[in-house]
Amino acid sequence: MRVLVTGASGRLGRVVLPRLRAEGFTVRATARHPRPDDTTEWVAADLATGEGLAAAVAGVDAVLHLASSPNRRTHQIDVLGTRRLVVAAGQADVGHLVYVSIVGVDRVPLAYYRHKLAAEQVVAAGPVPWSVLRATQFPGFLEELIQRFGRLGPVIGDPALLAQPVDPGEVAGRLVAMLRTGPSYRVDEVAGPEVLRFDEAVRAWRAARGSRRPLLSVRLPGRLGRELRAGALVSATAPTGTRTWADHLADTYGGTGRR
């Protein structure tokens, strides 16, 4: 099966590409500028303008759409760019489009999440048979948040916020299975094996690093805080991953990473 992967150089894409190759897929990947690679065919394509998309989807059996731009031109790339990709894939008679989204896009009142939900709707309304996979947060992203909230010394955050981090490798495995199974015409979820409060995640992170940095509790106000404390970032379905936050910390810092 020949698969086009958008966003192939991103956090998830870097894990997905070798997994696809190991599973016997022929991989074509998009980038704004081509790059030399003996294992993957890279093609230039730009979701923001549509340039190169027709050539990128030509002759592929499926599209794995990972590309996203949370910090700039999000509507242009995530929503309108997804529409351009769906139209091009439909014209090329692509048999399956798999879109990766985020658990909580229908609950979290953030602009980026609204754009991801709109992109899901574009995929579902398009001419290409489709599947959507919503994933919970990656451990690396959770760690970046903790570091950002602790840049002034103490880690500042709402201790009751809930997260369910999932390993990118396990998401990649789920995506491979979805490509093999074919279009589901539904939105599925993948999540890690445990639900963590923010203070639990911070304590484990401090232990792994041998840090005494304190946690300064600040309650996140408004609807955003209420939704995150109520589990908007937690999957409503049974957990499917096996690798824990402690496993991530042990891989990163050594030791057990246990709280």
**145 CB-contact burial (10 Å; exposed 0-12 / middle 13-18 / buried 19+):** middle
Q: Kindly tell me if the per-residue pLDDT of 147 is higher than 50.
A: yes
Mean pLDDT of 245-257: 85
Mean pLDDT of 6-25: 95
Q: Kindly tell me if the per-residue pLDDT of 256 is higher than 60.
A: no
Residue-wise pLDDT tens digits, 152-193: 889 999 999 999 999 999 999 999 999 999 999 999 999 999
Q: The whole model's pTM is what?
A: 0.94
Name beta bridge partners: 70. none
CA nearest neighbour of 144 among 226, 14, 244, 252: 252
Buried/exposed code over 89-100 (b: 16+ C-beta within 10 A; e: otherwise)? beebebebbbbb
Q: Kindly tell me if the per-residue pLDDT of 85 is higher than 70.
A: yes
In whole angstroms, what is the distance from residue 187 CA to residue 185 CA?
Answer: 7
Of the listed ranges 36-40, 45-49, 176-180, 190-194, the least confidently predicted one is 36-40
| DSSP 8-state code for residue 214 | P
Q: What angle, rounded to 10 degrees, do the helices at 245-253 and 139-149 form?
A: 70
In whole angstroms, what is the distance from residue 110 CA to residue 233 CA?
Answer: 12
Distances (CA, A) of 55 to 70, 88, 199: 26, 9, 48
> Distance of alpha carbon 206 from its chain centroid, rounded?
25
Query: Quick one: pLDDT at residue 39?
Result: 82
Name beta bridge partners: 42. 29
In whole angstroms, what is the distance from residue 202 CA to residue 142 CA?
Answer: 10
For domain 2-136+168-190, the CATH class is alpha beta
Query: Quick one: pLDDT at residue 255?
Result: 61
